[in-house]
Amino acid sequence: MSTPPTTPKTKPGAESKLPHAHTHTSALTPPTSPRQSRSSSNISELATTIPAVPTHSLLELPLKLKDATLHPIQTAAVGQSTLPETRVGECPFDIEILKDERGQDAVFGTGAWSTVYKATTHVQVRTVSGSLTPPLSPALATPALVAVKRPARRDAISILKSEAKVLSHLHSIANSEKYVVPFYGTVDETTLILEAIPFSLEDHIRQCAAVASQTLSTWTMADPVLGSDAKWFHLARQLISALAWLHRDARVVHGDIKPGNILLTCVHGSGTDVSCRPVFADFSSAQRLDMEDMTANTLSAVTREYTAPELLNSKVLRDPTSTATPASDVFSMAITLLVAATGQMLVYPGSVLQRQAMATQGWMVLSYVRNAEQGSRVPRFGLVERVLERAVLKADMGRVNAQEWLGIVETMAQGDPGKL
C-alpha cells in the first residue's frame, strides 16, 4: 500500500482509531487476521503523551441506555433517504504531520481503505479584509495531537466521504461524546481529523493476557483475562450500552466491531487511579439505518473472525451491495467480549483453514472456544456464557438485538449485585 504524499502544514485529515489492517484479494479470501490489524509498535511514540493505564482500574463508568426494536438495513422504509443530508464541517484548525525517527511521516496505522497519520495542530489565523481573524474560543481550544485519516487508494475516497458523513451525524446526537471518538471535521472532503487516542481495547486485552499467563494457576484459570468476572462484566455492560445507543439513538450500524476498533479514553484520575471509557472508532464500514443510500463494498474489509456467519456466505461476500446489519453488530460485539475473556485475538483454535470454517459456523463459537487453549475461561453455565449465549445465535433463530441484550445484563446485575 502506497502512502499518499504529505504537504507540511497543510490540513490533512484523520481518525483517532487504529484502522483495520486487512486486505481483500477476493470475495472468499479472508482479510488479514486481527493480530495484524493493529500493531502496538505503531503507537509506541505516544507512550509519553498518554500514561500507561493500570489494568485493575480500567473501565469503571457504568453506562445505561435504551434501544428500540431493530430491523436489518435492507428494510429501511421508503422515503427515508429524503432526510436532509448531514453536512460535514471543515476542520477549524491547521494541522502538521509529524515525522518519525527516520524522517518519514509518522503513522498510527494502515488499513484496507486508509492510512492514519500522527499530527500536531496550530490555531487557524487568516487574513480577512486586511485584518486577522481571531483564534478559536477557549471552549473550542484545539487539541495538541490529532490523528489524520487519508484514503490509501482511489476507490477509498467514497468510503472516507461516507465515514465523514456518518461521524458528523453521530456527533449531532445527544451523548455522542460518551460513545464515539471525537471528530473535528475534514480537509479537502476526503481527509478526516479525529482525536488521537492511541490505546485500544485490543492493547488492553493483550496486556491483561500477558499478565494472566504469568499468574496462571488453578485459582485463576477460570477467570477472564481482564482479572475477574466483575471487571469483565463491567466492560460488557459498557459496550452493550454503547451499542444500544448506537442502534437506537443514532440509528447507525458500525459494521466492523472488534477490539482494535474500540478505543479507551481516560476520563478522570491520575497516577495509578485512572478510569477509562470505551468509544467506537473506524466507521468506514458503517451504515445509517434512517437512510436508503448505502455505501458499497463495506464488507470487503471486515475481519472474518469477528464477522457474523450470515455475512460470510460466499454469495453475500461477492455482492458489493451487501452490508452489515444491527444483528451482525450484536454478533461482532459478542465475539469482542469473548476475546476479552479468553485473550485469544484469533478467536478460534487451529489452522487458518480451520478457523475460517469455524467462523462460518459462528453460532457454535462458545463450544469451539471452550475446547481451545483458554477454554477454561469460558466455563459451561458460567458468567461469560450466560451473557453471550443469546448474542451468538443464528440471526434468524433468536439472536437478541442490542436493547434486549442490554436488558439481560442489567437484569443479571440487579439479580446478583454482590457478585457482579
pLDDT, tens only, 206-215: 999 999 999 8
Closest to 418 in 3D by CA, of 221, 274, 229: 229
Quote the CA–CA distance of 9 and 209 in Å, as a whole number. Answer: 40
- Distances 366 to 19, 242, 339, 350, 408 between C-alpha atoms, Å: 27, 23, 11, 15, 18
In DSSP terms, 117 is beta-bridged to 107, 148
Quote the CA–CA distance of 300 and 285 in Å, as a whole number. Answer: 9
What pLDDT is attached to residue 268?
Answer: 62
Quote the CA–CA distance of 66 and 163 in Å, as a whole number. Answer: 25
Residue 266: all three cell numbers together: 481516560
Residue 67: all three cell numbers together: 434501544
DSSP per residue over 93-148, as a string?
EEEEE-B-TTSSBPEEEE-SSEEEEEEEEEE---EETTEEPP---GGGPPPSEEEE
Report the interhelical angle of 201-214 vs 326-342 (nearest 10°): 30
What pLDDT is attached to residue 142?
Answer: 78
Name the one residue in this structure whose C-alpha cell is 504529505. Answer: 6
DSSP per residue over 282-344, as a string?
--TT-EETT-S---TTGGGG--GGGS-GGG-SHHHHH-TT----HHHHHHHHHHHHHHHHH--
What pLDDT is attached to residue 47?
Answer: 35
| Ranges of residues in the chain whose predicted pLDDT is under 70 | 1-85, 125-141, 267-274, 295-300, 416-420
Q: How far is CA 263 from the centre of its chain?
A: 7
Structural fold of domain 201-414: Transferase(Phosphotransferase); domain 1 (1.10.510)
Quote the CA–CA distance of 168 and 153 in Å, as a whole number. Answer: 23
Instruction: Please answer whether residues 384 and 354 qualify as being in contact, where contact means their C-beta atoms are separated by less than 8 angstroms.
Output: no
What is the three-class DSSP state of 257?
coil
The 3-class secondary structure across 199-217, one letter per residue, is CEHHHHHHHHHHHHHHCCC
Q: Tell me, what DSSP letter sits at residue 90? A: B
Q: What are phi and psi of 161, to 5 degrees?
A: -65, -40
Closest to 121 in 3D by CA, of 14, 278, 261: 14
* Domain(s) of CATH 3.30.200.20: residues in the chain: 93-123+141-195
Residue 153: all three cell numbers together: 487508494
pLDDT digits (tens, 9 = 90+) for 169-191: 999 999 999 999 999 999 988 89
Quote the CA–CA distance of 296 and 362 in Å, as a whole number. Answer: 24
- Distances 74 to 141, 246, 250, 294, 306 between C-alpha atoms, Å: 41, 18, 17, 9, 21
Closest to 181 in 3D by CA, of 158, 206, 164: 164
**Cα angle 201, 206, 208; round to 5:** 95
Instruction: Please answer whether residues 203 and 50 qualify as being in contact, where contact means their C-beta atoms are separated by less than 8 angstroms.
Output: no
- Distances 27 to 311, 313, 316, 365 between C-alpha atoms, Å: 11, 10, 9, 23
Assess if CATH 3.30.200.20 describes domain 93-123+141-195.
yes
| One-letter amino acid for residue 191 of the chain | T
* Domain(s) of CATH 1.10.510.10: residues in the chain: 201-414
Give the Cβ contact number of residue 377 at 10 Å: 25
